């Protein structure tokens, strides 16, 4: 092949490196045999000059070196963590750069699969007359975005993502982490710009955006990069005595294409963590953001900069109907975060298609403060837990139970601290709380406040709110009864309903008397009591002497029970949730006929009974008996298997 941007020797260097990254196998051609390198010119058109020159130099070097040396260099660049400072950064760039070029080119595979959209960009270039120079569109990478004008967007997105699944699955987990590392560095570098976009879509405070969305994503990415390779490695499992000589394994394989649907309250983290988890486990993604906070184009931009090939993540913009269209494509798994109402609909639709669903739904989380807790700290925790993200968190403190002897003192401290909250959609990080994101959620909060007032509750702060403005202040509510909406339904706003309790039993009964079961927190100096109470809470997660913290640790699985959903995200459970956990039992090839195979005979029945009694009975010499019975049975089964069949054939 010839290329406008590369000399013949550079092309051969590219093909050499390409075959090391993608050597081909069973049903897929190697890089050099796929013909995908023919697209290299178009790819180089939209590269930065310095990247292009760097790549050309690398390909020249690769051409001059023997294959094993190139392989050694590429392997070495994966060990960038062990190389000092700039050398490590350089190695990373080489690793990401070469793999990025090779993988992206290889994705012209999609064109062969009859999928024109991935290479819309290619098609437009092809329309150009030779020698006419690159058209305008060449300045852009192939599109990842599909706007759902009709159901065909969901169909195209799923087809594209399915086309990319095979190549992603063939990468090792370690190789996939390179993309995550690159994404992490890009997010860290572009954090202020990302925060601007998050604030523009949500109205949250700048610090909320930094601490919850940016920090949360970076922490999760680091954890995935470091821990996932081990957690996704083939794992040897116990093999029972009766299967002596065999080994048992679990392999963690990709499912294929995962549909991720997210809500509007944390549009960045709710997208990035599941997408990163899916990619790392080898699944391509169709992502449907909330129509209220689409962060339009941001994700595509970040992924493209991290060299994530276009067909690995498709973004479908649109409302609930677009989400339902995506579900109808029968992806290999659905990961849904959102309301209980929508979760039910999706689960019903997916049930018809037998698509597994994970549901991360709403909550009505309880915080329980015992009298021995440090009241100032507990009040500060309650305030943050109830108000962070303006109360629009699934794990917000929505019910605050305080033991009666300290109820009045705690209430006074809480009100004092609540009056110090600074509310603004700020640009410098100086505000505690931003605004609400959507008008319809403001209406729900207003209805809850109205209901509480009508039933006799008192607003200790925030009584001045007009019931319409998105800048809802902290509203501490006293004299709340268990039948009020603020006690039963998810408010998803900055409301803090207070309840006094007299005993452990009482508070457990009231805290568990909820349709939801997401998280909770228990505050007490007496750790034994805190643990005892926590064990009896009917929730998926809990924190002791802290608030919303169980979800802050990426090593801990996150999820709820009851109307808060099912399945677990994050942690090892979460990783395995995105996998086909394949159980494999390995035996040696031999001429042995197993005891449980045919023929069944009365003699085998007798010997098998001896073995069962020895193995599961209580005799002191049971292991000896088991070994004796096992040997007799094995010999008999083997002889009968070989000879007995012959005998039966004669009949």
Binding footprint of ligand NAD on the chain (CB under 6 A): 261-265, 288, 290-291, 319-320, 323-324, 327, 337-339, 342, 345-346, 360-363, 394, 490, 492, 518, 565
Distance CA 218, CA 209 (A): 13
Nearer to ligand NAD, 52 or 345 (CB): 345
DSSP letter string, 142-161: PP-EEE-SSHHHHHHHHHHH
193 classed as catalytic: no
Candidates 213, 360, 413, 489; catalytic one: 360
Whose structure tokens read 């000879």?
A: 643
| Shortest Å distance, C-beta 263 to ligand NAD | 3
At residue 471's C-alpha, the angle toward residues 468 and 476, to 5°, is 90
Nearer to ligand NAD, 394 or 640 (CB): 394
Distance CA 290, CA 325 (A): 14
Contact 302, 190 (CB under 8 A): yes
| Shortest Å distance, C-beta 396 to ligand NAD | 8
Distance CA 5, CA 524 (A): 68
Nearer to ligand NAD, 155 or 175 (CB): 155
Tokens at 578, concatenated: 């995105």
Distance CA 586, CA 602 (A): 30
| Beta carbons within 8 Å of 77's beta carbon, 6+ residues apart | 91, 92, 94, 95, 98
At residue 155's C-alpha, the angle toward residues 152 and 156, to 5°, is 85
Helix axis angle, 298-305 relative to 173-189, nearest 10°?
120
Contact 567, 588 (CB under 8 A): no
| Shortest Å distance, C-beta 267 to ligand NAD | 9
- The upper half-sphere exposure of residue 418, i.e. CA atoms within 13 Å in the direction of its Cβ, equals 28
| Shortest Å distance, C-beta 336 to ligand NAD | 7
By beta carbon distance, the residue nearest ligand NAD is: 323
| Shortest Å distance, C-beta 217 to ligand NAD | 14
369: β partners:
402, 523
Tokens at 240, concatenated: 């029972």
In sequence order, which ranges of 395-438 are alpha helices (DSSP H)? Answer: 404-418
Alpha-carbon distances of 107 from 35, 36, 136, 144, 298, rounded to whole Å = 11, 7, 22, 13, 22
Nearer to ligand NAD, 313 or 346 (CB): 346
CA dihedral 571, 576, 577, 583 (to 10 degrees): -150
Nearer to ligand NAD, 337 or 524 (CB): 337
**Chain centre to alpha carbon of residue 440:** 28
Distance CA 74, CA 21 (A): 9
Contact 290, 267 (CB under 8 A): yes
Nearer to ligand NAD, 3 or 361 (CB): 361
Candidates 394, 413, 489, 490; catalytic one: 394
Q: Which helix (H) or strand (E) holds 631?
A: helix 622-639
413 classed as catalytic: no
Nearer to ligand NAD, 158 or 524 (CB): 158
Distance CA 369, CA 70 (A): 62
162: β partners:
none
Q: Is 570 left (phi over 0), alpha (psi -120 to 50) or beta?
A: left
In sequence order, which ranges of 171-294 are alpha helices (DSSP H)? Answer: 173-189, 191-202, 206-208, 215-231, 269-280
| Beta carbons within 8 Å of 602's beta carbon, 6+ residues apart | none
| Shortest Å distance, C-beta 343 to ligand NAD | 7
Nearer to ligand NAD, 164 or 323 (CB): 323
Nearer to ligand NAD, 341 or 648 (CB): 341
Nearer to ligand NAD, 77 or 519 (CB): 519
How many other CB atoms are there within 10 angstroms of residue 245's CB atom?
A: 9
Q: Give the residue numbers marked as catalytic.
A: 360, 394
């Amino acid at each position: 092949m010839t290329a406008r941007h590369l000399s013949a020797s550079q092309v051969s260097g590219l093909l050499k490196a390409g075959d090391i990254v993608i050597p081909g196998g069973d049903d897929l051609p190697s890089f050099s045999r796929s013909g995908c390198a023919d697209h290299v010119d178009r790819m180089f058109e939209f590269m930065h000059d310095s990247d292009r020159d760097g790549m050309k130099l690398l390909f020249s070097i690769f051409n001059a070196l023997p294959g094993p040396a190139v392989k050694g260099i590429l392997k070495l660049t994966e060990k960038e963590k062990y190389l000092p400072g700039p050398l490590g950064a350089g190695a990373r760039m080489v690793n990401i750069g070469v793999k990025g070029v090779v993988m992206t080119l290889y994705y012209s595979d999609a064109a062969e699969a009859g999928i024109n959209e991935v290479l819309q960009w290619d098609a437009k270039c092809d329309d150009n007359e030779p020698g006419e120079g690159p058209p305008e569109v060449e300045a852009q990478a192939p599109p990842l975005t599909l706007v759902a004008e009709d159901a065909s967007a969901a169909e195209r997105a799923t087809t594209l993502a399915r086309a990319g699944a095979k190549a992603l699955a063939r990468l090792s987990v370690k190789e996939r982490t390179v993309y995550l590392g690159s994404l992490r560095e890009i997010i860290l570098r572009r954090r202020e710009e990302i925060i601007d976009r998050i604030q523009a879509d949500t109205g949250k405070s700048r610090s909320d955006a930094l601490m919850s969305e940016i920090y949360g994503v970076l922490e999760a990415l680091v954890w995935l990069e470091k821990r996932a390779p081990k957690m996704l490695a083939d794992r040897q499992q116990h093999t029972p005595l009766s299967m002596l000589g065999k080994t048992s394994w679990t392999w963690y394989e990709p499912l294929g294409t995962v549909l991720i649907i997210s809500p509007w309250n944390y549009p960045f983290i709710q997208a990035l963590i599941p997408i990163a988890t899916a990619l790392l486990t080898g699944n391509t993604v169709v992502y449907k953001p909330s129509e209220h906070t689409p962060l339009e184009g941001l994700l595509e931009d970040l992924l493209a900069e991290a060299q994530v090939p276009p067909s690995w993540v498709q973004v479908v913009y649109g409302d609930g109907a677009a989400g339902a269209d995506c579900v109808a494509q029968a992806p290999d798994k659905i990961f849904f975060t959102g309301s209980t109402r929508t979760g039910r609909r999706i689960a019903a639709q997916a049930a018809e298609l037998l698509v597994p669903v994970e549901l991360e739904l709403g909550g009505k989380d309880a915080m329980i403060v015992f009298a021995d807790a440090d009241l100032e700290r507990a009040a500060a925790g309650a305030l943050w837990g109830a108000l962070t993200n303006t109360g629009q968190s699934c794990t917000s403190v929505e019910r605050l139970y305080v033991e009666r002897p300290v109820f009045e003192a705690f209430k006074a401290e809480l009100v004092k601290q609540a009056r110090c909250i600074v509310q603004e959609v700020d640009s410098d990080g100086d505000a505690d709380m931003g605004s609400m994101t959507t008008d319809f959620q403001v209406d729900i909060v207003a209805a809850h406040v109205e209901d509480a007032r009508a039933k006799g509750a008192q607003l200790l702060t925030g009584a001045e709110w007009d019931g319409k403005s998105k800048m809802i202040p902290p509203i501490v509510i006293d004299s709340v009864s268990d039948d009020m909406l603020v006690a039963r339904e998810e408010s998803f706003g900055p409301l803090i309903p207070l309840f006094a309790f007299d005993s452990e039993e009482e508070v457990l009964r009231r805290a568990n008397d909820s349709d939801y079961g997401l998280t909770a927190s228990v505050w007490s100096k007496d750790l034994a009591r805190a643990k005892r109470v926590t064990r009896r809470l009917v929730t998926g997660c809990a924190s002791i002497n802290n608030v919303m913290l169980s979800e802050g640790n990426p090593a801990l699985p996150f999820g709820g029970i009851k109307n808060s959903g099912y399945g677990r995200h994050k942690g090892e459970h979460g990783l395995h949730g995105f996998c086909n956990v394949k159980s494999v039992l390995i035996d040696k090839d031999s001429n042995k006929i197993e005891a449980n195979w045919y023929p069944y005979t009365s003699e085998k029945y007798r010997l098998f009974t001896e073995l069962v009694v020895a193995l599961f009975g209580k005799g002191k010499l049971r292991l000896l008996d088991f070994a004796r019975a096992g040997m007799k049975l094995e010999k008999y089964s083997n002889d009968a298997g070989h000879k007995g069949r012959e005998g039966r054939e004669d009949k």
